[in-house]
């Protein structure tokens, strides 16, 4: 499969596969080794990888990609209701419907560039969000959200004997089954749903890598740096940007489909502009235009969202209980704003620091550390000799 | 009919007659210069050839085909390349990638969804780009980011990008504008060298007439949107109308 990659890319791919598949083991010591969070890492990683093809490579900042996420989720749930609880048809429908939506929205939005393009995508996404709550309630089930019920037809699945709502599965392998292992006083959880998402994430990453190295990817990068030159070089930028838009929309649809696969319900809040903004933050935080950056950014944000939003005043009091009461209360009073529901404040500060001090995101930060370490250790002999 | 033929072209910007009944005939294989003072309408005329502007009246035919109504990428695909007044290159990409893109455009057309094979695997394209860089003496800079090149090298790269497509017609808008004397001479030498190796028809726009005297076979002098003289270089130098246009238009 990888024999066509150059050796650096091959190592990156192997490293990526190992890190993802070993996720439940690596992340367990950090309190992030449970299925729900692991699934979210993989799903948002996939979302950000696709978004990066449009934003990082082509330079078009969409503020409406959550619409495709939502469309993907609704499509998957409908597939579960009508056809079968098998996840494969659901995933296909998610990608296909998101692709069609992206084609329509992209076709119109790409008539403009820069800020006008961003505003158009934002407008479309908000329109979808509002429609999901109003006219489209027969399809979306409005505020309640689209859910599975016992009397759904599910024409391919046999008669439902148990009287429970069946669970999503891959040819009988249920997504919510988890194998637990105890080792060194820790519990490792290997969840089928996570591994399904992980395999899709790996395939998505591999596809992005191929696109980055391809003539098509080169054209997208050329569009970002100089569209005038591109046009006068005989290339029509419009179909290139549209293709990038549709591809990234399909990634988003796939991520939305996976959300429904791991938790079969869909609500309109998934399409809200805050969700569109989040993927922008993930991509920039990790490193726009880099391959690993978006996945790192997604993992970073989802991890801290999870950790910080769980800390409440009681936890803080427990941390600082060794201090005199007045100082304890003061510290808790200040930190109160940065944790729990206020964790977005922490995210905002981290985001500002990264953008100001590491404009290339976490990937650039990592590269800088790597380089300075090499300089320090690689040239240690020379420096000593000079002294 | 000439290779590039411009007949009765008019272009008006509000109250300004930027082009006033321009006629031009460029013969295949020659260098044709268009000179004139600043604001004479030279760039406007060029923009009418490449799909950037549409003239109010008149025709522009190239190789028997009308260029009017075509988009910039379509004009390029029929064989017309363009060098800009300030070099337009892909600054964020490497020198090599800058040359690979026009080679791909020439081979694969205006749009191809080639997202699964690697750029490095396109042996024919790499070879062609490599040869082009050798031709313009930039092979040692192939992995540099284009933004970090000197101004002269940027111009050189832009020409290499255009030439790598083997255009039938090359349009150059003030290729030496804003250059130091040494760079100007380098560019003139480069153009002469290219003309020796490949006989590509060229239209060179210049503000500074000394640049084109040694290069061009024919010169058209444009003043206030009108071609006042069209002749061989030796007849242009002392022409009273030309002197008047340059002195009259200088202030
Ligand atoms: N897009 C435009 N809108 C209005 N006026 C223009 C436009 N482009 C050029 N002009 C005017 O047309 C005249 C010719 O300009 P230009 O072709 O750039 O001259 P040159 O290249 O010979 O210096 C100038 O007076 C310029 O101000
Ligand atoms: Mg000009």
Quick one: pLDDT band at residue B213, thresholds 50, 70, 90? confident
Mean pLDDT score, A354-362: 88
Quick one: pLDDT band at residue B94, thresholds 50, 70, 90? very high
pTM over 0.90: yes
User: What is the maximum span of chain A, computed from C-alpha positions, in angstroms?
Assistant: 83
Which residues of chain B does A211 touch, with a Cβ-Cβ cutoff of 8 Å?
A: 115
Tens digits of residue pLDDT in A293-338: 999 999 999 998 888 888 888 888 888 888 888 888 888 888 888 8
Is the pLDDT reported for residue A187 higher than 90? no
Residue at which a domain ends, from B166, B185, B200: B166
Which residues of chain B does A233 touch, with a Cβ-Cβ cutoff of 8 Å?
A: 73, 76, 101-102, 105, 161, 165
Contact B57, B244 (CB under 8 A): no
Work out the number of other CB atoms within 10 angstroms of the CB of residue A6: 12
Q: List the residue whose alpha carbon is closest to atom 9 of ligand 1.
A: B44
Is the pLDDT reported for residue B76 higher than 60? yes
In a shared domain, residues B19 and B118: no
Mean pLDDT score, A194-220: 97
Q: What is the pLDDT of chain A when averaged over all its residues?
A: 90
In a shared domain, residues B2 and B69: yes
| Interchain pair A222, B101: CB under 8 A | yes
The CATH number of residue B198's host domain is 3.40.50.300
In a shared domain, residues B125 and B68: no
Q: Which pLDDT belongs to residue B169? A: 95
SS3 string of B104-164?
Answer: HHHHHCCCCCCCCCCHHHCHHHHHHHHHHHHHCCCHHHCCCEHHHCCHHHHHHHHHHHHHC
Is the pLDDT reported for residue B251 higher than 50? no
Range of the domain at B60: 1-79+169-251
In a shared domain, residues B158 and B47: no
In a shared domain, residues B174 and B52: yes
Backbone angles phi, psi at A320, to 5 degrees: -100, 15
Best to test chain B binding among A13, A103, A206, A215 (most B CBs inside 10 Å): A215
Interface residues of A toward B, Cβ cutoff 8 Å, are 4-6, 210-211, 213-219, 221-222, 224-226, 228-237, 239-240, 243
Tens digits of residue pLDDT in A70-129: 999 999 999 999 999 999 999 999 999 999 999 999 999 999 999 999 999 999 999 999
In a shared domain, residues B11 and B121: no
In a shared domain, residues B98 and B109: yes
Tens digits of residue pLDDT in B218-235: 999 999 999 999 988 888
In a shared domain, residues B154 and B90: yes
In a shared domain, residues B154 and B175: no
| Interchain pair A213, B119: CB under 8 A | yes
Say how far apart CA B3 and CA B65 lie, in whole Å. Answer: 10
Q: Which pLDDT belongs to residue A386? A: 37
pLDDT above 90 as % of chain A: 61
Name the residue of chain A whose CA is nearest to B112's CA. A216
In a shared domain, residues B74 and B175: yes
Which residues of chain A does B119 touch, with a Cβ-Cβ cutoff of 8 Å?
A: 213-215, 217-218
Is the pLDDT reported for residue A385 higher than 50? no
Q: Which pLDDT belongs to residue A2? A: 58
| Interchain pair B77, A233: CB under 8 A | no
Interface residues of B toward A, Cβ cutoff 8 Å, are 50, 71-73, 76-77, 81-82, 84, 88-93, 97, 100-102, 104-106, 108-122, 161, 165
* Domains in chain B, number: 2
| Interchain pair A213, B116: CB under 8 A | no
Residue at which a domain ends, from B166, B188, B221: B166
Residue at which a domain ends, from B166, B193, B228: B166
Q: Which pLDDT belongs to residue A97? A: 98
In a shared domain, residues B142 and B180: no
In a shared domain, residues B214 and B178: yes
Best to test chain B binding among A233, A238, A240, A288 (most B CBs inside 10 Å): A233
């Amino acid at each position: 499969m990888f024999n066509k990659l150059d050796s650096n890319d091959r190592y990156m791919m192997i490293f990526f596969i190992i890190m993802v598949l070993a996720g439940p083991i690596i992340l367990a010591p950090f309190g992030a080794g449970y299925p729900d969070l692991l699934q979210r890492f993989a799903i948002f990683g996939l979302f950000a990888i696709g978004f990066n093809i449009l934003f990082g490579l082509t330079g078009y900042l969409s503020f409406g990609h959550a619409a495709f996420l939502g469309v993907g989720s609704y499509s998957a749930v409908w597939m579960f209701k009508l056809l079968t609880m098998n996840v494969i048809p659901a995933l296909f429908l998610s990608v296909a419907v998101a692709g069609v939506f992206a084609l329509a929205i992209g076709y119109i939005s790409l008539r403009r560039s820069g800020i006008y393009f961003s505003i158009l995508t934002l407008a479309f996404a908000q329109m979808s969000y509002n429609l999901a709550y109003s006219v489209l309630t027969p399809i979306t089930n409005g505020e309640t959200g689209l859910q599975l019920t016992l009397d759904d037809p599910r024409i391919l699945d046999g008669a439902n004997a148990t009287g429970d709502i069946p669970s999503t599965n891959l040819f009988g392998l249920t997504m919510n089954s988890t194998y637990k292992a105890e080792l060194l006083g820790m519990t490792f959880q290997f969840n089928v749903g996570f591994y399904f998402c992980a395999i899709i994430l790996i395939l998505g990453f591999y596809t992005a890598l191929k696109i980055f190295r391809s003539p098509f990817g080169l054209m997208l990068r050329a569009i970002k740096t100089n569209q005038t030159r591109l046009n006068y070089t005989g290339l029509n930028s419009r179909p290139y940007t549209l293709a990038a838009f549709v591809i990234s929309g399909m990634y988003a649809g796939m991520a939305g489909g996976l959300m429904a696969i791991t938790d079969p319900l869909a609500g309109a809040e998934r399409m809200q502009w805050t969700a569109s903004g989040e993927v922008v933050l993930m991509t920039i935080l990790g490193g726009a235009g880099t391959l690993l950056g978006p996945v790192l950014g997604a993992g970073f944000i989802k991890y801290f969202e999870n950790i910080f939003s769980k800390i409440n005043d009681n936890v803080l009091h427990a941390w600082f209980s060794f201090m005199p009461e007045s100082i304890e209360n003061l510290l808790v009073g200040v930190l109160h704003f940065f944790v729990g529901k206020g964790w977005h404040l922490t995210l905002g500060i981290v985001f500002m620091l990264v953008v100001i001090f590491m404009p290339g995101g976490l990937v650039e930060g990592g590269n800088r550390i790597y380089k300075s370490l090499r300089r320090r250790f690689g040239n240690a002999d020379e420096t000593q000799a000079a002294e | 009919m000439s290779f590039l033929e411009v007949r009765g072209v008019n272009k008006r910007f509000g109250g300004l007659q930027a082009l006033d009944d321009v006629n031009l005939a460029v013969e295949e294989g020659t260098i044709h210069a268009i000179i004139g003072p600043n604001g004479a309408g030279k760039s406007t005329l060029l923009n009418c050839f490449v799909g950037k502007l549409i003239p109010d009246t008149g025709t522009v035919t190239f190789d028997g085909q009308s260029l009017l109504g075509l988009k910039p990428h379509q004009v390029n695909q029929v064989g017309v390349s363009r060098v800009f007044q300030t070099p337009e290159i892909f600054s964020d990409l490497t020198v090599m990638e800058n040359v690979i893109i026009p080679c791909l455009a020439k081979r694969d057309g205006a749009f191809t969804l080639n997202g699964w094979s690697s750029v490095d695997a396109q042996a024919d394209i790499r070879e062609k780009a490599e040869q082009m860089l050798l031709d313009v003496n930039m092979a040692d800079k192939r992995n540099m980011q284009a933004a970090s090149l000197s101004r002269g090298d940027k111009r050189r790269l832009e020409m290499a990008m255009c030439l790598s497509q083997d255009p039938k017609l090359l349009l150059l808008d003030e290729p030496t504008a804003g250059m130091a004397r040494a760079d100007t001479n380098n560019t003139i030498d480069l153009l002469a060298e290219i003309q020796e190796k490949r006989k590509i028809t060229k239209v060179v726009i210049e503000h500074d007439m000394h640049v084109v005297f040694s290069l061009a076979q024919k010169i058209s002098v444009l003043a206030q949107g009108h071609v006042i003289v069209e002749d061989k270089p030796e007849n242009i130098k002392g022409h009273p109308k030309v002197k008047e246009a340059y002195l009259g238009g200088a202030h």
